[in-house]
Structure 1
């Protein structure tokens, strides 16, 4: 019985302590939207990858280009389009992704497809 008493007392004191601690209910994205601030570059990268994956069903592997524009953000994202064996023969694609100032995807397009193991013959893109 004394164990039950101690348990209920400790729970009560823990609840009282929890109620005194400030709790943050906003996510980082909510804070930026409420403040009117632009998201940080890392937030933009995460949002772009997540939104592109949701829209295309393809998993982004890397971001090869990233820049802030007057209208928002522009990125080039590399995705795996078709897995093959060996992995160096897998089919990759590069997508141009555009986001507004708040980091919401406004458009994307595939600009290139290539095998993972192939170097770019053009020296650039």
Structure 2
């Protein structure tokens, strides 16, 4: 399975489980037994848009691209920037 197929599969399967359309896939890494992807999802729409609550979900896929599991690893406001040191 290609990286592009894994990325689309992670987003589509998470969307089916959560009942919402993912905003983006922010990371994709090959794993020993498949792929791991970080998928960004809108959890709560707010006005202004910069206050919308987003979440990052870590999705694990097997070698065939089937979802094995997922977990929410972060929640943040859409306008929030990560601080780097």
Pick the TM interval, shorter chain: over 0.9
Detail structure 1 runs of 4+ shifted over 4 Å in the superposition. Answer: none
Q: What residue ranges of structure 2 are gaps of 5+ in the alignment?
A: none
The TM-score, its normalising length taken from structure 2, stands at 0.94
C-alpha distance in 1 between matches for 2:20 and 2:55: 10
Structure in which a larger fraction of residues adopt helix: 1
SS at match of 2:15: helix
Q: What residue ranges of structure 1 are gaps of 5+ in the alignment?
A: 1-38
RMSD over aligned Cα atoms: 1.3
The TM-score, its normalising length taken from structure 1, stands at 0.65
Structure in which a larger fraction of residues adopt strand: 2
Name the count of aligned residue pairs.
85
Computing the radius of gyration from Cα coordinates, the structure with the larger value is 1
Relative contact order higher in (CA < 8 Å, ≥ 6 apart): 2
